[in-house]
Amino acid sequence: MGNEFFIYLAVMAVSTYLVRTVPFTLVSRKITNRFIRSFLTYVPYAVLSAMTVPAIFHSTGSLISATAGFVVALVLSLFERSLITVAFFSCLAVFVVSLF
Amino acid sequence: MNSMRKGFLDGLPIGLGYLAVSFSFGIMGTNYGLKIWQTLLISMTCVTSAGQFAGLTIMVSAGSLVEMLLSQLIINSRYSLMSVSLSQQVDDGFKTPARIALGHFITDEIFAVASSRGEKVGKRYFAALAVLPYVGWSLGTLLGAICGDILPSSISTALSVALYGMFIAIFIPPMKKSISITVVVLISVAISVFLYYQPFFEISTGISVIICAVVASLVGAIFFPIKEERKEVQHGE
């Protein structure tokens, strides 16, 4: 693949860049509308939870090891452990369970 | 919140998770017949998971540029939502040049970490936060493209839950304190599960995430509007 590669790449990279940067740059003032502010406050949590469930259960190729990773992450999160701790022990749980 | 040290630390788990995810992207690029530098260049210029996987598929199947553009806009449109959300949480020093320079690093994970700390996000913190994820994403792609399946599958499998573990660590603690966040999360998860398993139509991850986020956040905004911060003088009330 020669020149076409760069054309494809340009379309991908530029569109992805603009989708992120244009709203970020244009919305530079504080939004005062309470409804919109409320909506935007909830967005991160809604995005993250939707991306996690059910995808995590299909991420390891085994429902059992994935569930182990999920449960460990859930419990540690309830105890408010740090991101790296939760991520590490979640991986460890998957690793250990998949040994059997 | 504008500490670079804190930014690096918060970026570490994201970087590790990215290493695993981008590794598989690197393998895929090589399998599809791309040169190593081509696969690496895609990762370094796009910095997005789902969009790259879709783009690579279109590229190798010689799809049209319109198809490429549409797929990228649809899959990545969730970033616009995140950008607007993040724009409300950055501090006053995060001006236009910094936004133009750093906006491209708004990934799902970087956005999530930056915006869920309940503090204003400074540009120094944000730049530092982006470093290790960017390195992890690029390095993982490179390694995957070069060596394919060197990593034992038991390890790469285990690494693939790292990002999800991190997500869970971000959205669970606030649920303990806020009934409204709990409701929003449960609605979002319910829709996500439905869209994933329903047999009626195919739906991409990007679109699914948007539907979940918009519906759940709308419900949240309608039934649990946030209290206005009042930092002004409160005399006479």
Tell me, what's the ipTM? Answer: 0.86
pTM surpassing 0.80?
Answer: no
Q: How sure is the predictor about A15, in pLDDT bands with cuts at 50, 70 and 90?
A: very high
CB contact under 8 A, A50 and B77: no
Nearest to A50 among B38, B180, B188 (CB): B188
Burial (0-12, 13-18, 19+ Cβ within 10 Å), A54? middle
Contacts of residue B228 in chain A, CB cutoff 8 Å?
34
CB contact under 8 A, A38 and B42: no
The crossing angle, in degrees rounded to 10, of helices B36-46 and A3-26 is: 10
Predicted pLDDT at B148: 66
- The better pLDDT of the pair A57, B75 is held by A57
Contacts of residue A82 in chain B, CB cutoff 8 Å?
169
Predicted pLDDT at A79: 96
Torsion angle of C-alpha atoms B167, B192, A39, A47, degrees rounded to 10:
30
Predicted pLDDT at B206: 67
Residue B6, number of CB atoms within 10 A of its CB: 16
Contacts of residue A25 in chain B, CB cutoff 8 Å?
96, 99-100, 103
In angstroms, rounded to a whole number, what is the distance separating the alpha carbons of residues B29 and B40? 9
CB contact under 8 A, B80 and A81: no
A61–B contact, CB cutoff 8 A: yes
Phi, psi (deg, nearest 5) at residue B184? -60, -45
Buried b (16+ CB within 10 A) or exposed e, B12-21: bbbbbbbbbb
Q: Shortest Cα distance from A46 to chain B (angstroms)?
A: 5
In angstroms, rounded to a whole number, what is the distance separating the alpha carbons of residues B55 and B152? 27
Q: What contacts B227, CB < 8 A, 6 or more positions away?
A: none
pLDDT 10s digits, B19-35: 877 887 888 888 888 99
Contacts of residue B115 in chain A, CB cutoff 8 Å?
44
Q: How many CA atoms lie within 13 A of B3 on its CB side?
A: 6
Q: Shortest Cα distance from A42 to chain B (angstroms)?
A: 5
Mean pLDDT over each residue of chain B, to the nearest integer: 86
Instruction: With a cut of 70, say whether residue A86 has pLDDT above it.
Output: yes
Contacts of residue B33 in chain A, CB cutoff 8 Å?
1
